[in-house]
Every structure is written in structure tokens, then in C-alpha cells.
Amino acid sequence: MKLLYSADGSLENIKSKSVTIVGYGSQGHAHALNLRDSGIEVTIGLRHGSSWNNAIKNDFVVKSIPEAVRNADLVMLLIPDEEMSAVYISEIHNNIKKDSTLAFAHGFNVHYNQIVPRSDLNVIMIAPKAPGHMVRETYIKGHGVPHLIAVWRDNSNNSKEVALAYAIANGGGFAGIIETTFKDETETDLFGEQVVLCGGLTELIKAGFETLIEHGYKPELAYFECIHEVKLIVDLIYQGGISGLNSSISNNAEYGEYTVGPKVINQTTKNIMKEALNDIQTGKYAKDFILEKKANSPILTTKRSLLKTHLLEKVGRFLRAKMSWTKSS
């Protein structure tokens, strides 16, 4: 698999286009600011609300979504997955310019047929592998985050070049850009979030914290051991891989990694991971998530409320308030 960088593409493939970004949240503001700093003129498409005022404060031209997409050569959708289909159907499908390019930062809606793009449209994906604030911060620092690009439909015969140019303008050219497919990006992204990055890691943290509390240890001590130090460990892995981590920790810690880690994360865990991947591949997870939205998000609402009252969160808020270096985050 070849990594692409700034030298492998040309910003001219997007500088000549009128670009509209729909959405001005975490990803939307980052893409808009990065593209503008790369010399690309950007219009923001929004419904009236707080994001509208934020975009105006950053000196962007802001229009209603139908108006913003009407004359755009490229429209990037950067609104929540669960809202995107309804917005596309009601405000974009009949208004987007003929033969233009429709872009996504995640393949979910196209892969699971929640959005069926109009037949004349080029359809591409540019997916930065980081939250929006990191996409912006790393662009400013000059090292960016890795990006994935994909082409779902190429009527113009230059859609890959356009996607590559967008990724470069968004900072991906500093860190590396990989070509993939909507299917592979969607399925691997959901899998990584569910079993490792979000679902797996947070449940592991909570289980470790709760185990120490249940055996009489102070919450503050449990917090530092099971939560605070996670960033230190992840930073070491980020910089040097697992081997790099092991070269920095004690022999005692490394021995515990080899002898106890496989007991906690074992074949049973891996079997559950395989079930999760199967649900993603078959579309079961997507169906469940779409039904969750239609039912007014009962699981999300309940779980968020429960998490706020967890001792882990209460102790964390107290301790972080004492840490001067976290106050600016």
C-alpha cells in the first residue's frame, strides 16, 4: 500500500473549484479553516443556529444549505451520520449543481445506502484519521494527520486527483494519504471505534477503576493508575509502537504485560470482536444505529446520563481541575 504526500498531487485540482462545506462543527470548522489557509475559497452551508454565528465570526461566507450547494463544484458533507441522509434528501439532492462532486469524510451513509447520490455526481471521500480539533491543530503545526481517500463514482475521470488535492489542502500531505474504498473505510472505522478506541478502551478503564474501588483502594489512586496514565502509555506506543513502549517501561511492568494481559484480553474477547465485525459487515450495526436515531436516541441519552454520575467521572473532574496543564485544553 503506497503512502501519498503533498508532492504526489496538485492543489490546482481543487483551487479551481468552488467548494462548499456543509456543517461547521468539529470536522467542519477544521476543514474550512485548513482549506482556506491552503488558498482555497470556501463557502459554508448551514441551518441557522450557533454554528452559523461561529462561521461568520471566522469570516466565512455562510448561506442556507440549498443556496450554498447550488453553484458549488464540490460539496463536502460534514454533519452527523444520523442526520446526513435527511439533509441530503431534503436540501441537497435537488439543489446541487449538475456534474459536480459530492464528498464525504466517512463512508457510512453511502456504504449502507442511506444516501443514494444523484447519478450525474462524482462521489469521493476524504477521511482524516483524527477528531476535528486535532485536524486543525496539527495543520497549524505543519505535520497534519493521516488521511484516507476513496472514489465511489468517477464521471469526470479525475475524481481521485480532486480527492488527493483536498486531502493535501487539509493537512494530509504532511502525514500521509492512503487510497481505500468506501466499504473498507466504513467497516474498519466502525470496528476500531467499537472494539478498541472507544468501546474497548473505555470499558477496560472502567473495569480496572471499579475493581480497585471494590477492593478498598482510594478513588484518586485508582484514577491515576487506570486513567491518567493511559495517555502516557498511548504516547509511547504512538511514538515507537509496542516495542517502543516496552523499551521505556520497567521489566516488572513488561513482565506483567506478557503474563496478565492475555488473560484479560483473550480468545473469548477476540470472538466477541469477530461478532462485532460481522454485525458491521452485514449492516446489522448500521440498522440498529439508524433505528436508535428514529426512536429519539434512548440508548445514547441513558448511557450519557449514567456516565456523568459514575464515580470515575466525578473523581476525574475534581483531579483535572487541580492540574494546571489541563485547564487550557
Does residue 150 contact residue 181 with C-beta atoms inside 8 Å?
A: yes
- Contact indicator for 3, 176 with CB cutoff of 8 Å: yes
d(CA 38, CA 139): 10
d(CA 140, CA 171): 9
Work out the end-to-end distance of the chain between its first and last CA atoms, rounded to an integer number of angstroms.
Answer: 36
Residues in the chain: 329
* Residue 257 Cα distances to 30, 230, 302, angstroms: 38, 14, 35
Axis crossing angle, helix 311-321 with helix 298-309, rounded to the nearest 10: 60
CA 117 remoteness from chain centre: 22
Q: Report the interhelical angle of 267-282 vs 284-294 (nearest 10°).
A: 70
d(CA 284, CA 289): 9
Distances (CA, A) of 89 to 16, 37, 84, 128: 27, 31, 9, 25
Annotated catalytic residues are: 106
Give SS3 for 304. helix
Distance set, CA 93 to CA 89, 102, 133, 157, 231 (Å): 5, 10, 29, 22, 43
Q: Are 79 and 25 in contact (CB under 8 A)?
A: yes
Give whole-number Cα distances, 241 to 131, 233, 259, 292, in Å. 21, 10, 19, 37
Residue 297 cell numbers, joined: 436516541
Nearest to 29 by CA among 88, 73, 79: 79
